[in-house]
Structure formats: structure tokens, C-alpha cells
Structure 1
Amino acid sequence: MKKNVHVTPKGNNWQVKTANSSKAYKVVSTQKEAISIGRNIATNNQSELLIHGKNGQIRAKDSYGNDKFPPKG
């Protein structure tokens, strides 16, 4: 099973982590940069990117794998 990639706040910075990982893959100063890094990892792993807001709640999801329920039309 492929691990989802999470972009989460870490103090005043943002981190990119894979699911169930205790250590961040990368810590950067902006969310935009973290999303870009996370998107590349999720694309390469054909997994899902979950973007968290400053409060820690998931605010967006993007799937880069084989979608079982692709959009119609």
C-alpha cells in the first residue's frame, strides 16, 4: 500500500511527511513550497496528497494514484 503524503504546520514552518512517519521528509518556511514538494512525492508514489491548514485540519486533498471513483465527464 502506498503511503499518503501530508503537508502540516510545524511551529512557524511547514513539513512534508508520509503517513505514519515519525520524522519529516522536509521542513520549509512556506506552505506553498511544502505543497510543491509534497505534490512531487505523491505523484512519484501514485498516492494522495493531504494539505493541512494552520489549525492542523485537512483543508484539501489531491489524488495522484489510480482513482477507483474518477470524476465523470
Structure 2
Amino acid sequence: MAVGFSVPVFIVVLRECTEAAIVISVLLAFVTSMFKNDLDLRRKLTYAVWIGSAAGILISAIIGTIFLVLWFKYANNLW
């Protein structure tokens, strides 16, 4: 079963990625502006923002994969 390109899905993913990029950039700008003098704390908080972002992407990918597997496994047998 081949799945082609979907414009609505592309638009939704583009919007969500843009929102995530805005949130991450605001968090990084906040950390940079609030902790200008404390380099060690600023590095730790920047690292925490990036680790949290990566964890969010990983968790979203896992949940999305689970939904897709369930959908394609059981969608044919709904009726």
C-alpha cells in the first residue's frame, strides 16, 4: 500500500515545526538574556532546552509510529 504526498499533512507539519522553532528560540533567548553573567548555568540551561526538544521529538515519533502501526494493522478489519 503506497502512500503519496499529502498537501494538508504537509501544511500541518510545517505549521507545527514553525511553532516549535519559535518556542525553542524564545526559550534560548530567555536563557541567554537572563543569565548573561553566569556562563556555566547558561550552558546547562541551553543543554536542557535542546535535550527537552530532542526528547519531545523522539516521544512524538514513537507515539506517531504506534498510531500508524495500529491504523494500518486494524483499519482494514474495522467492518
Normalising by structure 2, report the TM-score.
0.30
Higher relative contact order (CA 8 A, sep 6+): 1
* Structure number with higher strand proportion: 1
Larger CA Rg, structure 1 vs 2: 2
Scaled by the length of structure 1, the TM-score of the pair is 0.31
Question: Which protein is richer in helix relative to its size?
Answer: 2
